[in-house]
Structures are given as structure tokens and as C-alpha cells.
Amino acid sequence: MTAASAGHLPADAPSPGVWSAAARRLRADRIGMACLGVVAVFLLLIAASASGLVAGGWQREVAVPSAPPGFAGPRPVQAPGALQAPAGPRADLSDVDPLAPRYGEWDARAAQFRAVEIQRLQTLPLGADRMGRDVLSKAVKGTEVSVFVGLMAALLATAIGTLLGALAGFFGGRLGDALEWLYNVFTSIPGILLIFAFAAVFGRGIGTVVLILGLTGWTGVYRLLRAEFMKHAVRDYVRAAQAIGASAASRMFRHILPNVSHVVLVQLSILTVGFIKAEVILSYLGLGVPVDQVSWGTMLAEAQSELLLGHWWQLTTATLFMAVFVTAFSLLTDALRDALDPKLRGLE
């Protein structure tokens, strides 16, 4: 709307800002918009799942164990096998059975309770796991956990990396040296070992996974942001800000940060994708989300043993959910980068 009405705005009206210009460029990018749609659907799904609207009962065992997906049809009923009930009248053992007098009493007590035999479904739209839980519900609930973990960990890592990178790049000197040292220590330890160490200290849980991934994943962001801040700190516009008396914090975060925001955003989304995959690996190794919760990672871990029995649907569903989200998110990131990069501006 702003773009359309820009022609006859009053002369004094502010021109479309950097952000709305970026939004306009994003809107022109068809693949970017399609990916934005996919990501939005996923986010809605996550919101619905978090508020309990969908997939609230993912733990209920609604189908027969490992029920196949609906389109594959129910599993053929297996022959009962060689053990057949013996024929002939049953022997009366009440004379020798010491418990025989109490059977009547127990039967009467049992009659007070009513056992409802759940009608277990033979098939589900996307099948069931080995406990008969709906794979679709699990995947939706797993999306919530996985994306939450990925996003929160990426936010944490980006925040740490940006802050330290800004300090190191802007001030340099002793502070820069100290941060470089910290960075070198972190990168010199093999990543998976570091993760194991953190996991051993913090114990198990979603919060721990976020913390682990955030605390180990900031190094890449730090390196990039440090370089950007070093570059920008001596630019004329920052010098000009210094000349008018802007404080160091103002120069760092009011002047430079918006100009390198495209780097931060791209790193954020790359990390999100990476952390979703890392969570899968962590859960697969048993260091991830606790057993009473589900994520794409735990689904894949379960699927390993199921696959031996030919139960492929849980693996397929989790992989499909993850692949679609991760691909859409990465492509959206690319589109965002193109839309936000100030270097690409000026062509319009």
C-alpha cells in the first residue's frame, strides 16, 4: 500500500524506510514468499500445538502397535500360530487350589470396576509407533519442541556472538585479545566433546539442550561480527557519530548494528537450521529432550529399531517434516539476506 500511494504523498511525508523497502524487495521474490508461507504454516502449527489445540493427546495409544498408515492398508491378520487351546473339559482343581475359596470374593470385587476395552484402530493416516501412538500427532508435537529448541538456541548463540563480536571488533586491544583467546579455546575443543561435557554437567531437559547448543554455537557469529565491527568502526559515518559526541555504546548498537543486521539475521537462521539438526543428533544419542517429550530427534531415534521390522512410516514422517521446514527456512533466509543487504540497494 505504501508503495502504491508513494506517488501522491504530501511532500513532507517520510519516505519508505529501509525495512519497508526490504519488505518490498522480499515481496518481489516468489520463492522467498512461498518459503515464508511454509514457515508461517509451521509457526501456526506450533502455536496450535503449544496451546493444546492439536496433538494434545500424542501420548495416547490409539492404534494397534505399529499400525501402518491408512493408504498402505491394515496389516494382514497373522495366523494365531502353532499353540492351540487344548481340547476337552477343563480339570477341576478347586480341591487342591488353596486360593479357591477366595475366587468368588475377587470376582465380586472385580465386578465393581468396569474395564473398558479400547477399540484400537488398525490403521492411522500416517501410521503408529510401536506403542500405538499416532505418528502424525507425534510429528506435530515434535515440531513444536524441535523448532523451539532450534530457535531459542540460535537466539542465544547469536546474542552471545553478536555482543562479544561487537566488543572485540569495536574496542580491540586487550579486550579483543581476551575475547580472541576465549574464542580460540572454544573452537579448539571438538564440538561434540564440548556438547557432551555440557550435557554431563547440566543434566537432561529441553532447557539444557538450548543452553548447550547456545553456549557452544556462538563462535561462528562472533568471528563474523567481529570482522564486520572492525570494518565499520573506522568508517566515516561512525567517525562522524564520534565527532558529534555519540557514546561508544551508541556507536556500536545504534549506528553499526543496524548496518550489519543482515549478517546477524542470516547467521540466526543458519544456526536455527543447524541447531534443529543438532538437536536431532543429541536426542538420537540420548542427550537431548527427556523421554516424556517428543521431538524429531527422538522420533528418528525410535525409528532406527522399527526400520528393522519394516516399519518405515515414523522415519519418513519425521524426515519429511524436518526437510520441508529446514529447506523453507534456509531459502527464506537467502531471500531475507538479499532483501536486507544494504550493498544491493541503490539499484532501485
Partner 1 sequence: MHCATRSTRSCGGWNERRAAGPGGAVSALLSVQDLQVAFRIGRDERVQAVRGVGFDIAAHRSVALVGESGSGKSVTAMAVVDLLPDNAERRGRILWQGRDLLQAAPAERRALRGRDIACVFQDPMSSLNPVLSVGTQLSEPLRTHLGLTRRQALARAEALLAEVGLPEPRRRLAAYPHQLSGGQQQRVMIAMALACEPKLLIADEPTTALDVTIQRQILELLAELKARHRMSLLFISHDLGLVGEIADEVVVMRHGQVREQGPVAQVFAAPRDAYTRALLACRPTLDGALPARLPVIDGPAAPAAAAPAKDPEAPVVLEVRGLAKSFWRREGLFGRHEFKALQGLSFRLRRGHTLGVVGESGSGKTTMGLTLLRLHEPSGGEVLFDGRDLLRLDERERQAMRRRLQIVFQNPYASLNPRFTVGQALLEPMAIHGIGAGRAERELRARALLQRVGLGPEAFGKYPHEFSGGQRQRVAIARCLTLQPEVLVLDEAVSALDVSVQAQVLNLLRDLQDELGLAYVFISHDLGAVRFVSDEVVVMKDGVAVEQAATGQLLAAPRAEYTRRLLAAVPRGVHAAPAG
Q: Site residues (CB under 8 A) for partner 1?
A: 11-15, 17-18, 235-237, 239-246, 250, 255, 258-259, 342, 345-347
Closest approach of partner 1 to the CB of residue 347, in Å: 7
**Three-state secondary-structure class, residue 96:** coil
Task: For partner 1, give the closer residue by CB, 207 or 342.
Answer: 342
Q: Of 273 and 340, which CB lies nearer to partner 1 in the complex structure?
A: 340
CB closer to partner 1 out of 205 and 342 = 342
Cα within 13 Å of Cα(15), Cβ side: 3
Q: Which is nearer to partner 1, 76 or 245 (CB)?
A: 245
Residue placing its CB nearer to partner 1 in the complex, 17 or 203: 17
Query: What is the residue type of 11?
Result: A
Torsion angle of the four alpha carbons 208, 211, 216, 219, in this order, in degrees rounded to the nearest 10:
170
Smallest gap from residue 251 Cβ to partner 1 (A): 10
DSSP annotation string for 68-86: PBGGG-PPPPPP--S--PP
Taking the complex as a whole, the smallest distance from the CB of residue 154 to partner 1 amounts, in Å, to 23
Residues with Cβ within 8 Å of residue 208, at least 6 apart in sequence: 198, 199, 202
SS3 346: coil
> Nearest approach, Cβ of 268 to partner 1 (angstroms)?
18
Cell of 90: 477343563
Cβ distance to partner 1 smaller for residue 250 or 305 = 250
Asked whether the beta carbons of 263 and 224 are under 8 A apart, the reply is yes
Query: How near is the Cβ of 17 to partner 1 at its closest, in Å?
Result: 7
Considering the complex, state which of residue 104 and residue 245 has its C-beta at the smaller distance from partner 1.
245
What is the DSSP secondary-structure string of 5-22?
Answer: HGGGS-TTSPPP-HHHHH
**Shortest separation between residue 235's beta carbon and partner 1, angstroms:** 6
User: Between residues 20 and 327, which has the closer beta carbon with respect to partner 1?
Assistant: 20
> Of 313, 324, 314, nearest to 276 (Cα)?
324
Count H helices and E strands in the chain, helices first. 15, 0
CB of 173 to partner 1, least distance (A): 12
Q: How far is the CB of 30 from partner 1 (least distance, A)?
A: 12
What are the grid coordinates assigned to 342, written together?
544494504
Nearer to partner 1, 67 or 260 (CB): 260
299 and 139 in contact (C-beta within 8 Å)?
Answer: yes
Which of 295, 143, 155 shows the shortest CA–CA distance to 217? 155
Nearest distance in Å: CB 246, partner 1: 6
Where does residue 130 rank: exposed (0-12), middle (13-18), buried (19+ CB within 10 A)? middle
How many beta carbons lie within 10 A of that of residue 200, not counting itself?
9
Instruction: Give the H or E element holding residue 252.
Output: none
205: nearest Cα among 145, 160, 134: 145
